[in-house]
Chains A and B, each alone.
Chain A
Amino acid sequence: MRAGVVVFPGSNCDRDVAVALSQSTGKKTAMIWHRDTDLPDLDLIVVPGGFSYGDYLRCGAMGAHSPVMQEIKRRAEKGTRVLGICNGFQIITEAGLVPGVLMRNAGLKYVCKDVFLRVEDSQSAFTARYNAGQIVRIPIGHGEGNYFADDETLDRLEGEGLVAFRYATPTGEITLDANPNGSQRNIAGVFNKSRTVLGMMPHPERLSDPKLGGTDGRAMFDALVETLA
């Protein structure tokens, strides 16, 4: 699998996810500068966490309009897998690659901690190594991860099985207490229609190494390598 990571001037999880990817691919991960429009051949493009252009207006708003995103949209249409993590999720929603918006956390504070996720769907290149219903532990770190979409959209997402992850208790209950940011229906990650694009607030790259306290995130990168090899 050839993987690339976009680097915006305010990205700060670009290296983290590149390291996690390389660990699974055994290859160097390509870094894509935000002004590049001429991208190499890639099987997976990751839009990483951070604060793209400072995110002072609205998270992801400026990133969504960057030159590189126009090209990524074209690639996504052709089926190239795109993974938006945290700020990357905010960017790809702003860019319309997946539905919804990420609003300010209901508690109004930035939250950095491990959360438990229930894997809702394992029928994608991203989640093939998980079982539907499996509970995984993955960290979050964001101030604006409160997923919002209107009821119609939410019903459609659920109906088509496009919810990828939900915030859950360690035993898999979907409760208010398990929801760290006020997201509608505890949604932590969603797919596009064809499940080739995934946006998620939690950071799989932060628990992909036993030295960091866990490896639940690694399965996502391994699955991608396996599917897209």
Chain B
Amino acid sequence: MTTAKITAADIKTHGLSNDEYKKILEVLGREPNLVELGIFSVMWSEHCSYKSSKKWLKTLPTTAPWVICGPGENAGVIDIGEGLAAIFKMESHNHPSFIEPYQGAATGVGGILRDVFTMGARPIANMNALRFGSPDHPKTRHLVSGVVAGIAGYGNCVGVPTVGGEVNFHASYNGNILVNAMTVGLAKQDKIFYSAAAGAGNPVVYVGSKTGRDGIHGATMASAEFDANSEEKRPTVQVGDPFTEKLLIEACMELMATDAIQSIQDMGAAGLTSSSFEMASKGGMGVELEMEKVPQREEGMTPYEMMLSESQERMLIILKPGKEDIARAIFEKWELDFAVIGHLTTTGRMILKFHGEVVCDLPIDPLAQASPEYDRPWTPTRRQSILEAKDVKDVAWPEALKTLIGCPDLASRKWVYEQYDHMVMADTCQRPGGDAAVVRIHGSNRGLAISTDVTPRYVLADPLEGGKQAVAETWRNITAVGGRPLAITDNLNFGNPQKPEIMGQIVEAIKGIGEACKGLDYPVISGNVSLYNETDGNPIMPTPAIGGVGLIDNLDTMMTVPFKAEKEIILLAGQAGGGWLGQSLYLREICGQEKGAPPPVDLLHERRVGDFVRSMIHGKKLTACHDLSDGGLMVALAEMALSGDVGCELKNVAGHARLFGEDQGRYVLTVKTSDLAGVKAAATAANVALEEIGATGGTAIALNGASVALADLRKLHEGWFPGYMARPA
């Protein structure tokens, strides 16, 4: 084996600490070579090993009778009845999207799609949760336009509808935008594929695109060995090829319908290294690869480069014995590369050969077991005191509403989602713009409801309550369309975990998420952690994005946001009174302040109100429903009025705290007069507060003698995004 001496610089450029290097020496009993060092660095990276977060992630509730597979596989799996499973996960592509927004976001979509279809699921919906810097920041417009175009460019071409998501702006993301993409897929329960390799001698097969020098660890630049042709060998940005991904989906689906696959995994971050390593490790197997057989895009690639390349649109498959020809024929039909690059062994070692020479020989289990796990020091976030409504400026409601409905965080996202094909597959029953997206389970009258949410300003002020709130909001959004919330995926975006206050945010947010999952019977089945989101020591706001999935058993009862007709009764369900202005958008946008404790989430109340609302929806008692979130009651009403193009006349509500407070666990409902008594009685029986606050009708929102025309609100609401994007930088 060639052994170029590992230098201190090599260790550093591979992102390993001295302690970690010592551990490597212990595990190996000798010095690693560069290939091996590269593999260690990848396997022990934060991304692959979760070394800072593992201890805390273990505390999350991950089971329920309907959970088929929790965290640990490429994506989580839940039982949705009739022999079917929903498979989903969310993943970040933050850093690449900041460097190259179009390709960064595009390859983020490609990556999460592979995580889902590698398990046997046909992807049926994509979501994206995006956070950008302040709209005034010189880079923001360029990043928004590139990221959205990238998501569209990839998702539209592969033919998976992008049905929802979130977009927020805040200065804390100026140097670190967040691009979190989620995919939901559908599989038959008896056709789910896992990644644990088994069967000594079974062929290891590489399919998809060729391997190039994309995204190879920066070490290739610094290391002396690669200096000669630095221009040629420079690590490059990964470019997505959605057409190849589409072929890969179809080819994998076709192969999965046969009985040829023993196990399968996509090549995600750290490509061939993590896929082969994880598959072997999970199955307690060894693996031997012949690196020259890896399909290569460029000449003169080294095993180091092939192992660390992050070229997109590739998968690794362990075939059952004798199935090579069946598999090859399918991939050739779809005009994709197909190569048997090695086989499984019983040695428990990873052996890489290059033209016959052994270039890497690592023990798999010890390496996996010795992977670092840190209990990083953390300090709890200092809580802020509760802000009294009387200490907050009271602005006339029409002015406040106009400001809020057209502010960057609340303005219509049409400019974004009209660039996404959200209708392909012809099963989108609720398009973007509502509370949760709804996609039909093909060929049935059932649907999946999907929502992504988090309110970072709440998490910053109180990570525990903020973590709870994020989970609860997805639960509420799913409930509002009539869905039964089943499980979540999470994408934990934070700053540098080596700072105790950031680690504190992580620990407490996870605790909050866990509490909400428990309280709502809504387990975590997959997720992703993205740390070190800081520039010049300025961390992002803690942003644990949650993606929730629920089931609608009968699409005939699906509920939507718009007011449907004139003269219907408007009701406010949940917590009477209200008036929580701390950390509200009203406070930020109208008063220019970001302070106070965020609204607490009472999980028992949440559940009681949500279950009541859902039962009313299922009983066909409601005509419209919308949960309250950013901007509180008035914003929710305005959204219902605008989307239905029906105004409303309000009563029994007054004061900025009542109108714009962001108390949790509440919904606005409309009912026909004839159903009012029944709904009221049901609320009383369910111990849910229900206030009558007005009636629909007219072309304005009217309250206490003042009114705002819907036409004016619409201009503000729909005008901001296109206006902002059209302005020259």
Contacts and interface: CB of A to CB of B under 8 A. Distances in A.
Interface residues of B, number: 33
Contact of A110 (B419, B423, B440, B445): B419
B156 A212 contact: no
Contacts of A133: none
A212 to B, nearest CB: 6
Contacts of A54: 157, 241-244
Given A9-B247, A9-B335, A54-B157, A113 B429 contact: no
A137 to B, nearest CB: 13
Given A51-B246, A109-B149, A141 B424 contact: yes
B351 to A, nearest CB: 36
A111 interface: yes
Contacts of B152: 109-110
Q: Which of B335, B420, B423, B427 has most A Cβ within 10 Å?
A: B423
B243 A56 contact: yes
A9 B428 CA distance: 23
A111 B418 contact: yes
A145 to B, nearest CB: 13
A102 to B, nearest CB: 16
B426 A12 contact: no
B419 A9 contact: no
A73 to B, nearest CB: 24
Given A10-B157, A53-B243, A109-B149, A15 B425 contact: yes
A9 B159 contact: no
Contact of A212 (B153, B244, B426): B426
B425 A211 contact: no
B589 interface: no
Nearest to B422: A112
Interface in B326-361: 334-335
A206 B418 contact: no
A112 B246 contact: no
Interface string A199-212: 00001011011011
A226 interface: no
A67 B206 CA distance: 29
B156 A141 contact: yes
Given A109-B149, A141-B421, A211 B555 contact: yes
A68 interface: no
Contact of B426 (A19, A50, A111): A19
A27 B419 CA distance: 34
A88 B365 CA distance: 52
A139 B423 contact: yes
A173 interface: no
B198 interface: no
A112 B419 contact: yes
A13 interface: yes
A152 to B, nearest CB: 34
B335 A211 contact: no
A50 B243 contact: no
B157 A112 contact: no
A184 B581 CA distance: 52
Contacts of A15: 425-426
A43 interface: no
A139 to B, nearest CB: 6
B419 A212 contact: no
A205 B424 CA distance: 10
A203 B421 CA distance: 12
Given A54-B243, A109-B149, A212-B428, A206 B423 contact: yes
Nearest to A11: B159
B617 interface: no
A20 B250 CA distance: 21
A12 B418 contact: no
Given A50-B159, A109-B419, A110-B156, A12 B247 contact: no
Interface in A30-85: 49-51, 53-56
B425 A10 contact: no
B427 to A, nearest CB: 8
Interface in B390-448: 417-429, 431, 440, 445
A219 B371 CA distance: 62
B419 A111 contact: yes
B158 interface: yes
B246 A113 contact: no
B428 A12 contact: no
Contacts of A51: 156-157, 159, 242-243, 246
A205 B426 CA distance: 8
Contacts of B243: 9-10, 51, 53-56
A61 to B, nearest CB: 14
A212 B421 contact: no
A51 to B, nearest CB: 5
Nearest to A19: B426
Nearest 4 Cβ contacts at the A-B interface: A12-B159, A54-B243, A16-B426, A141-B421
Given A55-B243, A109-B419, A212-B426, 14 more contacts: A10-B246, A12-B157, A12-B425, A51-B242, A54-B241, A54-B242, A56-B243, A109-B152, A110-B420, A112-B418, A112-B422, A141-B156, A208-B426, A212-B427
26 contacts: A9-B247, A9-B250, A9-B334, A10-B247, A15-B426, A16-B426, A20-B426, A51-B159, A53-B243, A54-B241, A55-B157, A109-B149, A109-B418, A110-B153, A111-B419, A112-B418, A141-B423, A203-B423, A206-B423, A209-B426, A211-B429, A211-B445, A211-B555, A212-B423, A212-B426, A213-B431
Interface of B: 149, 152-153, 156-159, 241-244, 246-247, 250, 334-335, 417-429, 431, 440, 445, 555
Interface of A: 9-13, 15-16, 19-20, 49-51, 53-56, 109-113, 139, 141, 143, 203, 205-206, 208-209, 211-213
